[in-house]
Amino acid sequence: MNAWYMYAMKLVHYDLNKRQCYLSELLQTVRLALLPAIYLMENVAMEELIIKQKKSKELVEEAIRCKLKILQNDGVVTSLCAKPRKTGHALFLLGGQTFMCDKLYL
């Protein structure tokens, strides 16, 4: 579940001097509020890079607020940090019998 967060952090840490300015943009692509609560509060919120950058810290704080709202079942969460990604595919199953025979048409 935290693979995207871990990937974003590895990407930034690989060349910290050049990439730390992109941290908040990368964090916006991660659904932080869908991470496990303990991981979000103990690991993500305590990450040194996130604490240092105002925008990144605000993103994580928003994710924590959303997570608490989700856990308390306190209304609908509409923030992007909590919306699951939508798939681009749909599966339709049709079944039944025709009046002429008992063949299944797919």
Q: What is the pLDDT of residues 28-49, one digit of tens each?
A: 988 888 899 899 999 999 999 9
Dump pLDDT digits (tens) for 81-100. 666 666 666 766 666 665 65
Confidence of residue 70 (pLDDT cuts 50, 70, 90): confident
**What is the greatest pairwise CA distance in the chain?**
72
Which letter does DSSP use for residue 46 in this model? T
User: What is the architecture of the domain spanning 1-106?
Assistant: Alpha Horseshoe (1.25)
Q: Which of 31, 38, 35, 30 is nearest to 7 (CA)?
A: 30
How much is the pLDDT for 82?
66
pTM: 0.70
Query: What are the residue ranges spanned by the domains of the chain?
Result: 1-106
Helices (H), 1-106: 3-14, 16-19, 23-29, 37-39, 48-52, 54-71
